[in-house]
Amino acid sequence: MKLSRFLVFIAVATVVLMTCLVSQGQDKRKVIIDQDAAGPAGTDQQAILLLIQSRQTEVLGITVVTGDAWLTEEVAHTLRMLELIGRTDIPVVPGAEYPLVRTKEETEQWEQRYGSVGWLGAWTPRVYHAPRELGAMPEGLPTTKPADEDAAHFLIRMVHNYPHEVTIYEGGPMTNLALAISIDPEFASLAMELVFMGASLSPQTDDPEFTNTPRREFNLWFDPEAAHIVLRAPWKKIICTPVDISVKTRMTNELIDKIKTGNTPSAQYIGKYARLHGSYNYLWDELASVAWLDPSLITKKENLYMDVNVSRGPGYGDTLTWSDQDKPKGKVQPVEVQVDLDTDKFYKLFVDLLTAPTPQPGMPGKR
């Protein structure tokens, strides 16, 4: 008798424990980070870190694309960052090495006709090296390996595994997403939403990158055809962090010093490798990450329809937008565009997340 009661107790306790574990898993917000993951530190790695550091999230994987740097070195920087924070369980999945149509050679010819472009990512002459070479790796070489799958198929597999549950965070050119959509037309509608840093409308700034070309933004510009495919796809929701709001943020030595006081692996990684370059150190991708984690820091937003100029003239790769009144008849999608933010709240969350202990897989979620 006593034994059977004990067995019932064990059975009930097991069910309760399993229910807790399942509900904890369900509480977490599933996200795949697609990123042109240059490094170490910098906007690309910091944006990835912020999403991993939050106890709200379950990062299903990091898919990588050429953009700020070449694919091969970006994969190496990401693997090494995950080693340093002890999260090698997160798969790093290599994607596209080249944009769909744009080439370096044609871009150089375009610049001769229409003027030079300030930031060309991996193709920028002062940082250029061959595609499969690693640039400087001050943080050391990784010993872990990337996933044995390509980004597009990984993205497709995940939205089928968890239909309508996965947020696609895009911090780079949209090549991998365009490939996923081209292979599986259901991809966009099976995701929960698309959140991306990109586009430029009318930024209020004296930054020479934007004063004469306010509609040119690197992520959309580097692979215009991919962005065109992605922005026309049937997403349930699209949220955009454009240059216009990015330029209201700054990485400063004061912020780096605050993070350095943290004794956690993430804080030490930023403290060791974050550097300021020139006069403008916007927190581009980081804002897209933190605003997704806490939408209340966005104090103003607007709805626009968005696409990219894919004609091969002077406006090739520029952001196109419309309102409800003047949008074209074709299937353009509405985009929630962030306009203004509470900067103090943003900087506080930024420091809090980067100095926090790194959550381990299976830890309970927290909103």
Residues at the site binding Ca ion, with contacts judged by CB under 5 A: 36, 44, 171-172, 285
H or E element: which one contains 334?
strand 333-341
Task: Provide the minimum distance between the beta carbon of 366 and Ca ion in the complex, in angstroms, as a whole number.
Answer: 27
Question: Which amino acid is present at 362?
Answer: G
Closer Cβ to Ca ion, 95 or 172, answer by number = 172
Locate all alpha helices (DSSP H) within the chain, ordered by sequence.
Answer: 2-27, 42-53, 71-85, 104-114, 151-161, 175-183, 187-190, 208-211, 218-222, 224-231, 243-246, 253-260, 265-273, 284-293, 343-355
Task: Provide the minimum distance between the beta carbon of 33 and Ca ion in the complex, in angstroms, as a whole number.
Answer: 10
In this structure, what DSSP letter does residue 360 have? Answer: P
**Token pair in block for residue 273:** 């490798």
Dist CA 33 CA 65 (whole Å): 11
Q: What is the CA radius of gyration of the chain?
A: 21
In this structure, what DSSP letter does residue 289 have? Answer: H
Cross-strand partners of 116:
none
In this structure, what DSSP letter does residue 127 have? Answer: G
- Give the residue closest to Ca ion by C-beta: 171
Residue 167, classified by CB atoms within 10 Å of its CB into exposed (0-12), middle (13-18) or buried (19+), is: buried
Task: Provide the minimum distance between the beta carbon of 79 and Ca ion in the complex, in angstroms, as a whole number.
Answer: 17
Give the sheet arrangement for strand 92-94, strand by strand: 92-94, 57-64, 29-35, 166-170, 193-197, 238-241, 333-341, 298-308, 319-322
Closer Cβ to Ca ion, 173 or 214, answer by number = 173
Dist CA 229 CA 194 (whole Å): 13
Closest CA to 162 of 191, 123, 197: 191
Residue 260, classified by CB atoms within 10 Å of its CB into exposed (0-12), middle (13-18) or buried (19+), is: middle
Closer Cβ to Ca ion, 131 or 357, answer by number = 131
**N- to C-terminal Cα distance for the chain?**
44
Task: Provide the minimum distance between the beta carbon of 173 and Ca ion in the complex, in angstroms, as a whole number.
Answer: 8
Closer Cβ to Ca ion, 57 or 246, answer by number = 246
CA-CA distances (angstroms) from residue 206 to 210, 243, 252, 256, 271?
Answer: 8, 13, 18, 24, 29
Closer Cβ to Ca ion, 146 or 171, answer by number = 171
Whether 282 and 250 have beta carbons less than 8 Å apart is answered as yes
